[in-house]
A and B are shown apart, each in its own frame.
Chain A
Amino acid sequence: MADYYEQKDLRNFGKITEWSEELGEKFFDYYSKVFEEGKLTGREKSLIALAVAHVVKCPYCIDAYTKDGLQRGITKEEMMEAVHTGAAMEAGANLVHATQMMKKYKKLSH
């Protein structure tokens, strides 16, 4: 795993277009469009991205959106709340499956 997730590899993200220009560029166009100010502010989108970064456990995204948050003046307390929101969703998505377990348990038990 030594050469996985090296921090400096994030700098090469843009180079994915070299091996598939059309798809790469379409992705980056879409990506930058999504993060523009829209009905949601750039600030709100940054916090959503940070929460998702933790949910998908992507170290690059965590680095990128921590820095993005700092740049936008987002406080550490706001960032932590966003991460908890993601974590709560993950926990909820897990726990809601307990209804399945309960259903199965009841069905199988006499």
Chain B
Amino acid sequence: MSKKSLKARENLMAKANEQLKFLSNGVFEDDLPTFKTKLSEENQFPLKPNKLEILQINLGYMCNQVCAHCHVDAGPDRKEIMTKSTMKSCLKVIQETEAHTLDLTGGAPEMNPHFRWFVEEASKAGIKDFIVRSNLTIIEANKRYKDLPDFFKKHKVHVVSSMPHWTEDKTDHQRGKGVFNKSIKALKKLNEVGYGMPNSSLKLDLVYNPSGAFLPTNQEVMQRDFKEKLIANFDIHFHQLFAITNLPISRFLDYLIASENYEDYMFSLVEAFNPAAVINVMCRNTLSVSWDGFLYDCDFNQMLEMKIDSKIQHINNYNETKIQDRAIKIHQHCYGCTAGAGSSCQGNIT
């Protein structure tokens, strides 16, 4: 597994336009319908947002890990980090928005030097659900992150963390050597301060995404299996498991192409298209803010540099009413959100 991002390796798939070009051609020229065609067949084109419920802010692409399938192409070599001044613009919006959920992501959001300040300030806005997507190993990465469980607890943050499998080899294969054991240690620390314990209000949810070119199965069954194994093997507790489909972009797209799984994967996604999932795709109630303050329909569109289709494209000119009157930008990667039970940052959507 490479220790560098696609960008640092100057890989073609680091470029948004190359990814989009790839997703426009090949199987989508003759064999498979484009996402737009599919939506039109369902009378769902153009896709329009509903009320804004989730504001997702990406604090930067820097990460202590370089996971094989990262859709952000994050890693230690990524220097894109949100500045304090952009955070201030975000705070203004957080205070005014009607959204009930604030979702901080990255990279490893904790690596942003202003992360703690931002969490402290944002938590004052009284948003109902305040999520931090923590990759777990960050807690073990350096002593300055050791107190994160207490810090999260102090601000009643809802922790959502990735865990591809309950076995070491599968987890390490996807996320890097040693990640499984560090994640287990971090989970234990979170459990110790009360996170994820039965009936605890300190929410700890896990995200499962398949460690290869296949789709996730039934979320409830996976949750049952994860709980059984993590309790039996490590006495680790968590609340919910979100099963997320890998979208064919960035490092996962690169992997699909290199392993010659791309065509089959796209056929699987299209075959599993579920019209019921279209109703709830996350871009309909979410807005994604990038490290440099631009607005996107979702984190995936952010990585494909597809800014929202609105005159207002930056957090500095934020106007919720105007922004909500837009068409969502779609492309073939969207099939990842509508396959089977559907997929979003909060797991299944049907």
Contact = CB atoms under 8 A, between A and B. Distances in A.
B216 to A, nearest CB: 7
- Contact size class for A? 10 to 19
A70 B210 contact: yes
Contacts of A15: none
A42 interface: yes
A7 B214 contact: no
Interface residues of B, number: 19
Interface stretch (B181-189, B194-202, B217-225, B342-350): B217-225
B214 A71 contact: yes
A7 B264 contact: yes
A70 B212 contact: yes
A73 B165 contact: yes
Contact of A42 (B170, B210, B214, B221): B221
Contacts, number: 30
Contacts of B214: 67, 70-71
A94 interface: no
A100 interface: no
Contacts of A43: 221, 225
Interface of A is mostly: helix
Interface in A1-41: 7-8, 11, 41
A74 B177 CA distance: 21
Given A43-B225, A71-B216, A73-B225, 19 more contacts: A8-B264, A11-B267, A11-B271, A41-B221, A42-B217, A42-B218, A42-B221, A70-B211, A70-B212, A70-B214, A71-B210, A71-B214, A72-B217, A72-B221, A73-B165, A73-B166, A73-B222, A75-B167, A75-B170
23 contacts: A7-B264, A8-B263, A8-B264, A11-B267, A42-B217, A42-B218, A42-B221, A43-B225, A67-B214, A70-B210, A70-B211, A70-B212, A71-B210, A71-B214, A71-B215, A71-B216, A71-B217, A73-B166, A73-B217, A73-B222, A73-B225, A75-B167, A75-B170
